[in-house]
């Protein structure tokens, strides 16, 4: 797996990979004493964190002295005094989170930064190796020799595409990683490569896959078919997954869960359950009732992550902002680690007259069963003071009666508001950015919040302006045109 010229580095990497693989397998079987593993790794992690300027700013020198003295016997107790690390603190001080000189990393990456400052997320040899084994040991249940995988992730600044390429290498599966121009959105080459190479596995965000399918449809090209989809980076609920399966003929998995900052904290198995990587992270839940460790029992709250295998930039009690649920169930795949369900970002709720509408509520109405006549590929909600406009892309040219029937399906979600369905040729450009922005910012345009959009960083500000222009509500047009 590793081509390293230096003999000592090569031997050390192989030793780490072997030891970690053994730990992963024992954790999956449930035969390891995780509390003891955590205690030992916590000591190393706390010690590493004392070398990072980030924690000097957030917790102060006295706490760092405390961390430095931790032993496996009292590591859990010392950890109990570690304060939560806020997302904004990591965003502001992310370049000070390292414990090594930058040149000792193997690759530089950062988070997208579309809604704030990008956070540095370089890969070091040790964490790359561990994350690769973590993902690979579960994807091995799903992927087979002879598979050809298309990685379609248009974010070369972020680590995900490279990380998945490494996983596929680890499993001995050929992959290709083409690029799509974000401006022209031309998928001709990608569609040709899928056909010529017989790519049967898709790895990437669902909104990118929808774009690919719609491009094929608009250009009278055959729609791509896959055997398996490994989806990532976006909240993809059951109705969205079922929709993508109908469109591609594939079995869809939410492939992994994590972020550029944390690494991969959960990975899917063949039963489509996301298994927490409890050997590499100490995971907790936070809500009004406080902070508690995830012990496998059913529970829900905001996920708080402590990385135990990221010595080059350790995260201690990092608040992810993601709402998650631990199902408390035992998985039929045989792996004995807790199962995670993602519930979306805290802010991904549309509130209208006191009603909260979540992504899956809307997608269940749209996609739980196909409305006869036409396929709804994708959608965007436009909210106005007195009504809701649902923009949809479809096959063929739906008539008004069909649009009205679709409107009736979603109307109960928006009681008291007039719901209009409008089929369009192409959605505003924001709709393809769910990977970076989350559901609400990418699929819901709230015209009542128009005044706030000017503050969005570029290129998002420009894309919002372009989306508004396409809808006929840009600065030069009147609102009445929607
Ligand atoms: Zn499983």
Q: Which two structure tokens, joined as six digits, stand for 482? A: 């929607």
Quick check: is 476 in a domain? Answer: no
163 lies in the same domain as 273: yes
Q: What is the CATH number of the domain that holds 364?
A: 3.30.300.30
Q: Phi first, then psi: give them for residue 229, nearest 5 degrees.
A: -115, 130
428 in Cβ contact with 470 (< 8 Å)? yes
Quick check: is 481 in a domain? Answer: no
Cα-to-centroid distance, 278 and ligand 1 (Å): 14
283 lies in the same domain as 367: no
Q: What is the CATH number of the domain that holds 253?
A: 3.40.50.12780
Q: In the prediction, which pLDDT does 236 show?
A: 79
Domain boundary among 345, 360, 378: 345
Cα-to-centroid distance, 255 and ligand 1 (Å): 12
Cα-to-centroid distance, 428 and ligand 1 (Å): 38
Strand pairing report for 418-423 and 355-358: unpaired
Q: In the prediction, which pLDDT does 382 show?
A: 81
426 lies in the same domain as 466: yes
Q: In the prediction, which pLDDT does 482 show?
A: 41
Q: What is the 3-state secondary structure (H, E, C) of 52-86?
A: CHHHHHHCCHHHHHHHHCCCCCCHHHHHCCCCCEC
Q: Phi first, then psi: give them for residue 394, nearest 5 degrees.
A: -140, 170
Q: pLDDT means per 10 residues in the chain (482 residues)? A: 86 96 97 96 96 91 92 95 91 84 90 70 92 97 96 88 95 94 82 96 92 90 95 82 93 91 94 96 96 94 96 94 92 96 69 68 82 86 80 88 90 84 80 62 69 60 69 48 41
Domain boundary among 345, 366, 396: 345
Cα-to-centroid distance, 271 and ligand 1 (Å): 5
Q: In the prediction, which pLDDT does 366 show?
A: 86
278 lies in the same domain as 338: yes
Cα-to-centroid distance, 268 and ligand 1 (Å): 7
Q: Which two structure tokens, joined as six digits, stand for 109? A: 């990456």
Query: What's the total number of domains in the chain?
Result: 2
Q: In the prediction, which pLDDT does 478 show?
A: 40
Domain boundary among 345, 360, 381: 345
Quick check: is 482 in a domain? Answer: no
337 lies in the same domain as 435: no
403 in Cβ contact with 422 (< 8 Å)? yes
Quick check: is 434 in a domain? Answer: yes
- The boundaries of the domain holding residue 289 are 1-345
381 lies in the same domain as 286: no
Q: In the prediction, which pLDDT does 380 show?
A: 84
Cα-to-centroid distance, 337 and ligand 1 (Å): 8
Cα-to-centroid distance, 250 and ligand 1 (Å): 19
Q: Phi first, then psi: give them for residue 150, nearest 5 degrees.
A: -95, 120
354 lies in the same domain as 340: no
Q: In the prediction, which pLDDT does 141 show?
A: 98
127 lies in the same domain as 166: yes
Q: In the prediction, which pLDDT does 439 show?
A: 64
Quick check: is 383 in a domain? Answer: yes
């Amino acid at each position: 797996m590793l081509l390293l010229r230096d003999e000592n580095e090569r031997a050390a990497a192989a030793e780490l990979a072997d030891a970690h693989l053994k730990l992963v397998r024992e954790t999956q079987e449930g035969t390891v004493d995780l509390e003891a593993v955590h205690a030992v790794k916590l000591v190393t992690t706390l010690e590493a964190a004392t070398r990072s300027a980030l924690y000097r700013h957030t917790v102060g020198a006295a706490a760092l002295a405390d961390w430095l003295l931790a032993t496996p016997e009292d590591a859990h107790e010392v950890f109990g005094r570690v304060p939560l690390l806020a997302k904004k603190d990591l965003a502001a001080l992310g370049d000070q989170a390292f414990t090594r000189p930058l040149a000792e990393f193997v690759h530089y990456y950062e988070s997208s930064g579309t809604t704030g400052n990008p956070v540095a997320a370089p890969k070091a040899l040790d964490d790359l190796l561990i994350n690769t084994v973590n993902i690979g040991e579960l994807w091995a249940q799903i992927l087979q020799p002879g598979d050809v995988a298309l990685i379609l992730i248009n974010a070369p600044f972020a680590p995900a595409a490279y990380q998945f390429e490494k996983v596929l290498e680890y499993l001995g599966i050929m992959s290709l990683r083409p690029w799509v121009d974000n401006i022209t959105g031309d998928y001709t080459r990608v569609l040709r490569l899928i056909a010529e190479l017989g790519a049967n596995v898709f790895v990437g965000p669902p909104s990118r896959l929808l774009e690919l399918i719609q491009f094929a449809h608009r250009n009278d090209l055959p729609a791509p078919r896959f055997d398996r989809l490994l989806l990532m980076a976006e909240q993809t609920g059951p109705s969205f997954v079922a929709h993508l399966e109908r469109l591609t003929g594939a079995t869809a998995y939410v492939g992994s869960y994590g972020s550029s900052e944390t690494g991969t904290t959960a990975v899917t198995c063949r039963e489509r359950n996301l298994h927490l990587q409890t050997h590499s992270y100490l995971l907790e839940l936070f809500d009004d009732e406080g902070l508690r460790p995830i012990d496998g029992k059913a529970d829900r709250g905001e996920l708080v992550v402590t990385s135990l295998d990221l010595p080059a930039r350790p995260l201690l009690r990092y608040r992810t902002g993601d709402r998650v649920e631990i199902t408390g169930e035992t998985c039929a795949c045989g792996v004995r680690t807790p199962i995670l369900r993602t519930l979306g970002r805290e802010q991904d709720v549309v509130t209208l007259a006191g009603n909260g509408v979540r992504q899956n509520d809307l997608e269940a109405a749209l996609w739980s069963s196909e409305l006869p006549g036409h396929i709804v590929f994708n959608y965007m909600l436009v909210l106005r003071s007195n009504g809701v406009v649902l923009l949809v892309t479809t096959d063929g040219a739906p008539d008004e009666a069909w649009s009205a029937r679709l409107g009736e399906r979603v109307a109960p979600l928006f009681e008291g508001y007039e719901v209009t369905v409008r089929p369009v040729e192409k959605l505003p450009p924001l709709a393809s950015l769910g990977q970076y922005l989350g559901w609400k910012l990418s699929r819901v345009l709230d015209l009542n919040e128009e005044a706030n959009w000017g503050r969005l960083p570029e290129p998002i500000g420009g894309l919002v302006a372009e989306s508004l222009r396409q809808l006929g509500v840009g600065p030069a047009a009147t609102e009445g045109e929607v």
